A = this chain, B = another copy of it.
Amino acid sequence: MTAHSLPTALPSPLILHEDPVSGNCYKIRLTAALLDIPIERRFYDITKGETRTERFLAEVDANGRIPVLQVGERFLPESNAACFYLADGSDLIPSGRFERAAMLRWMFFEQYQHEPNIATMRYWLHVLGEANLSDEQRGLMPMKRSGGEAALALMDRHLARRDWFVGDACSLADIVLFAYTNVAHEGGFSLDEYDAVRGWIRRMRALPRFAAM
């Protein structure tokens, strides 16, 4: 990977409102680490409802979710939007028009087909624990499992002939897909049959300034 051009004119403070257990929060920390952008961190425990308090809803996010990136006095929810904000103007976003849209394609795929299956399974099995799940959650597990497998299979086919999701370098598409793929085993997903995905994970971990979850 070539050195990143540093984005200019970032307001301070940059504060990440987050729960360290969340892969959506980790994406933002990884983007900041790769770009060498310092961010402050504020911690909330989602299992204790700390993002649904009156104060959080009024001051941080009316949607009651994390991560939220605070930029000066303004608040930016949605993990992939926060990654885009930090990386805007850097070479983590391709300069070609088609490639930029192709990067976003994989970022929308991540939020539509990957995260709702793989991250949700991981949250249920690894964070809440299988014994604590509701009947409704148990009933949804087969659908989540097959959806997650389909997402991993699509990624594996795509990576079979290329090192990175878009173009010839790491972009935000790789970063946002890495977050929950790297801990997919905690959701009961095995990567054993996805050779190309495992090779890509090794390349991600070898990036300069890479930060582990």
Q: Which residues of A are interface residues toward B (Cβ below 8 A)? A: 7, 9, 62-63, 71, 74, 76-82, 84-85, 88-89, 97-98, 100-102, 104-105, 107-109, 111-113, 115-116, 136, 139, 143, 154, 157-158
Known contacts A112-B112, A139-B139; is A81 also within 8 Å of B102 by CB?
A: yes
The answer on a CB contact under 8 Å between A76 and B62 is no
The answer on a CB contact under 8 Å between B77 and A101 is no
Which B residue sits closest to A136, measured CB to CB?
B143
Chain B proximity of A25: nearest CB distance (Å): 15
The answer on a CB contact under 8 Å between A101 and B116 is no
Residue in A7, A101, A107 with the greatest tally of chain B CB atoms within 10 Å: A101
Out of B100, B112, B157, name the residue touching A111 (CB < 8 Å).
B112
8 contacts between A and B (CB under 8 A): A77-B109, A78-B108, A85-B98, A88-B97, A89-B97, A112-B112, A136-B143, A139-B139
